[in-house]
């Protein structure tokens, strides 16, 4: 057992006492570091009074008792665990009464809390600042009646001088802790303002909160209102991921916090009938709802193995953090939901693209014509459509069109049009009659805000006769030995007006004639300066390429279009059909 050296200070004159008190004041005011201050007080006390056991106990408002903050001679397990209420022990009595408590023989005083059997006398001196209890300086000796009136008076003087310094050091430490907390909150807000995948975000939240509050278990639940449960989305205990059951809304601490949108703190779950046990060691719990637009979207649940671990400071801290976390979690959840929908849509688009590729087959064998086709969609599926109907040897029908709009809806509408053409074409040999029948059928289906421009060509190989009718589509180019002719059949797009009649035009073609069908996505394509590719540029290129094979003409047009756009995005579907009379 350590024994303090015999006191060196014995004041014979008032001046010596004043010098000593000035030394005490100077020694305790030179630092705001609580650990250094406690050690300095111990050194000062050693100069004026002997002891075998020494302790500075500070009052804890949270625990409503005294805890040893600095000690000499006390066992480590006592230092860590001892909390003395204000109505227990000699130190508790000194703290309660704010008066020095001296017991010359502890064996005769039932208030004495035994620490070492050899102790015979104890001196407890309270420290007060601004009228409030700061703590107690406690000396214990193995000698009976170890302390004189002189030593007690010196201890009281020392306590009065160091109390304010101790209180200031504790206040400074508290402010430093609050500043660290505010800096952490600012960092967390900045980190969580970025959109993160939900699982990654929840792991970051658990880590960030752990930096503020040393919990034993952390779980983040998300509200499933359709099924009226809290779904466990992330749970960790002692740095290990764990599994926690879902919680019905309104049940348990977390279920009640979600339903009421109020923070719930439980100091001892063994005394709380609403507690739903997840781990047998849990003793205290703090449930903080994450609220968006006056509704809880989740609950952040912290648990500790210690009774009364969570404080009002913890409640205030997490209440400040909760709105930022709620916004981040909701954004991440919506992003995850959107990503799942996009993945599902992507699968549907792949299936639609494969189906459309089957419907829009490559160049067919048509007697008297050499054909090349290429399509470049603005999206995975195209609103452009084309179809070839072989009605008899040397007798074919060619349909080429563009549905209003883009993407899946346009492709589906194009599928309807193709189906109608397949059904109606065998019984209607004239293009104008076929267009009228398709228009009537589309209007009968009452599909609002949709229409299709369509060019229908009838080709009779023996006579080299090309007959065409047009429902609002771009007219084809006919190039004969470098000269471009543009037939001009006109008509209203299909699906807009009832009882519409369509005109048709017939041409007798010659061997070598080149026919070019193109969608408006080609001529309307813009470059980076906003200039259109234009029908004039396309017409000149067709004229220059009239001797090329059809597939070479297609390649030449798309190469020129690519050079013109110079990386500008494609806004519309682009389709080319080039046919040469053989």
Say what the pLDDT of residue 368 is: 94
Asked if pLDDT for residue 214 goes beyond 60, the answer is yes
Mean pLDDT, rounded, for 173-199? 68
pLDDT of 285 strictly over 80 = yes
Mean pLDDT for 61-82 is 84
| pLDDT at residue 449, as a whole number | 63
- What is the arithmetic mean of pLDDT over 312-337? 84
Q: Output DSSP code: residue 571.
A: -
Give the model's pLDDT for residue 102. 95
- The predicted-structure confidence for 415-426, as pLDDT tens digits, reads as follows 788 888 888 888
pLDDT higher at 129 or 368 = 368
Say what the pLDDT of residue 457 is: 94
Please give the average per-residue pLDDT across 381-393, as a whole number. 80
pLDDT in tens, 130-141: 888 889 999 999
Q: Do domains 14-176 and 198-337 have the same CATH topology?
A: yes
pLDDT at 33 (0 to 100): 72
pLDDT tier at 276 (50, 70, 90 boundaries)? confident
Res 558: pLDDT: 93
Confidence grade of residue 325 (pLDDT, cut at 50, 70, 90): confident
Q: Quick check: 1 pLDDT over 60?
A: no
pLDDT (tens digit per residue) in 335-350: 777 777 767 766 665 5
pLDDT value at 46 more than 60 = yes
Beta-sheet strands, E only, within 26-64: 53-60
- When mean pLDDT is compared across 209-223, 236-250, 346-360, the lowest value belongs to 346-360
- Exposure b/e, 363-395, CB count within 10 A at least 16 = b: beebebbbbbbbbbbbbbbbbbbbbbbeeeeeb
Output DSSP code: residue 33. Answer: -
* pLDDT tier, 42 (very low <50, low <70, confident <90, very high otherwise): confident
Q: Which CATH architecture has domain 14-176?
A: 2-Layer Sandwich (3.30)
Give residue 5's pLDDT band: very low, low, confident or very high (50, 70, 90): low
* Higher per-residue pLDDT: 452 or 115: 452
Longest dimension (CA), the chain: 140
Report the pLDDT value the prediction gives residue 552, as an integer from 0 to 100: 95
User: With 70 as the cut, is the pLDDT of residue 6 above it?
Assistant: no
Q: How large a percentage of the chain has pLDDT more than 90?
A: 39
pLDDT at 4: 58
* Parallel, antiparallel or unpaired: strands 395-403 and 384-392: antiparallel
Residue 358 above 70 pLDDT? no
Under the banding of pLDDT at 50, 70 and 90, the label for residue 508 is: very high
What is the average per-residue pLDDT within 461-485?
93
Q: Is the pLDDT of residue 31 over 80?
A: no
Q: Is the pLDDT of residue 218 over 80?
A: yes
Which of 176-185, 259-268, 331-340, 462-471 is predicted least confidently?
176-185
Topology classification of domain 198-337: Beta-Lactamase (3.30.450)
Q: Which residue is listed with tokens 């500043």?
A: 179
User: Is residue 503 predicted with pLDDT exceeding 80?
Assistant: yes
Most confident segment among 30-44, 173-187, 562-576: 562-576
Average pLDDT of every residue of the chain: 84
**pLDDT for residue 19 is more than 70:** no
Average the pLDDT over 312-328 and give the result: 86
Neighbours of 580 (CB within 10 A): 22
By three-state DSSP, how is residue 71 classified? strand
At 329 the pLDDT is 85
Mean pLDDT of 39-65: 84
pTM of the model: 0.48
Q: What is the DSSP string of 454-491?
A: EEEEEEETTTTEEEEEEESPPPPEEEETTEEE------
Nearest CA among 342, 441, 382, 353 for reference residue 575: 382
Q: What is the mean pLDDT of residues 500-527?
A: 93
Residue 522: C-alpha distances to residues 128, 401, 478, 552, 579 (Å): 89, 13, 17, 17, 17
Instruction: Give tens-digit pLDDT for 402-414.
Output: 888 777 777 778 7
Higher-confidence position of 166 and 543:
543
Domain boundaries, the chain: 14-176, 198-337, 360-581
Does the pLDDT value for residue 82 go beyond 90?
Answer: no
Percent of the chain at pLDDT exceeding 70:
85
- Collect all residues with Cβ–Cβ distance below 8 Å to 36 and sequence separation of at least 6: none
Q: For domain 360-581, is the CATH number 3.40.720.10?
A: no
524-549: average pLDDT: 92
Residues in the chain: 582
Q: Which residues partner with 403 through β-bridges?
A: 452
């Amino acid at each position: 057992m350590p024994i303090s050296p015999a006191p060196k200070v014995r004041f014979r004159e008032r001046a010596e006492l004043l010098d000593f008190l000035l030394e005490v004041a100077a020694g305790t005011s030179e630092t705001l570091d609580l650990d250094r201050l406690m050690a300095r007080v111990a050194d000062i006390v050693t100069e004026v009074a002997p002891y075998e056991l020494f302790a500075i106990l500070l009052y804890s408002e949270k625990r409503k008792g005294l805890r040893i903050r600095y000690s000499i001679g006390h066992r480590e397990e006592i230092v860590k665990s001892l909390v003395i209420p204000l109505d227990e022990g000699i130190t508790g009595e000194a703290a309660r009464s704010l008066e020095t408590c001296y017991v010359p023989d502890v064996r005769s005083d039932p208030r004495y809390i035994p620490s070492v059997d050899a102790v015979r006398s104890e001196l407890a001196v309270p420290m007060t600042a601004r009228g409030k209890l700061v703590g107690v300086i406690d000396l214990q000796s193995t000698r009976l009646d170890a302390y004189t009136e002189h030593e007690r008076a010196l201890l009281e003087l020392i306590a009065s001088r160091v109390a304010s310094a101790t209180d200031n050091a504790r206040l400074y430490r508290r402010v430093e802790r609050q500043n660290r907390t505010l800096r952490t909150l600012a960092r967390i807000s900045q980190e969580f303002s970025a959109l993160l995948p939900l699982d990654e975000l929840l792991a970051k939240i658990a880590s960030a909160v752990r930096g503020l509050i040393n919990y034993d278990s952390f779980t983040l639940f998300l509200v499933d209102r359709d099924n009226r449960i809290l779904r466990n989305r992330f749970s960790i205990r002692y740095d290990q991921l764990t599994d926690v059951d879902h919680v019905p809304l309104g049940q348990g601490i977390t279920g009640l916090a979600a339903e009421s949108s109020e923070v719930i703190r439980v100091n001892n779950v063994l005394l709380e009938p609403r507690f739903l046990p997840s781990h047998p060691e849990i003793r205290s719990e703090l449930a903080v709802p994450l609220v968006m637009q006056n509704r809880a979207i989740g609950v952040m649940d912290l648990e500790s193995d210690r009774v009364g671990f969570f404080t009002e400071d913890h409640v205030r801290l997490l209440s400040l953090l909760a709105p930022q976390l709620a916004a981040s979690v909701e954004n991440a959840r919506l992003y995850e939901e959107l990503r799942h929908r996009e993945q599902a849509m992507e699968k549907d688009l792949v299936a639609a693209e494969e189906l459309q590729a089957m419907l829009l087959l490559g160049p067919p064998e048509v007697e008297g014509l050499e054909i090349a086709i290429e399509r470049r969609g603005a999206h995975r599926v195209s609103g452009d459509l084309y179809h070839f109907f072989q009605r008899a040897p040397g007798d074919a029908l060619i349909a080429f069109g563009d549905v209003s709009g883009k993407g899946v809806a346009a492709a589906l509408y194009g599928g309807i049009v193709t189906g109608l053409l397949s059904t109606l074409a065998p019984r209607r040999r004239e293009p104008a009659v076929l267009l009228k029948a398709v228009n009537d059928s589309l209007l009968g289906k009452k599909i609002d805000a949709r229409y299709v421009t369509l060019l229908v060509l009838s080709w009779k190989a023996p006579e080299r006769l090309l007959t065409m009718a047009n429902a609002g589509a771009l007219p084809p180019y006919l190039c004969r030995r470098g000269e471009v002719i543009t037939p001009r059949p006109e008509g209203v797009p299909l699906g807009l007006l009832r009882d519409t009649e369509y005109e048709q035009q017939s041409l007798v073609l010659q061997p070598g004639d080149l026919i070019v069908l193109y969608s408006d996505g080609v001529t309307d394509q813009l470059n980076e300066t906003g200039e259109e590719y234009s029908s004039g540029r396309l017409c000149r290129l067709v004229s220059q390429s009239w001797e090329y094979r059809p597939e070479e003409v297609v390649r030449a047009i798309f190469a020129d279009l690519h050079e013109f756009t110079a990386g500008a995005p494609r806004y519309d579907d682009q389709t080319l059909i080039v046919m040469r009379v053989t």
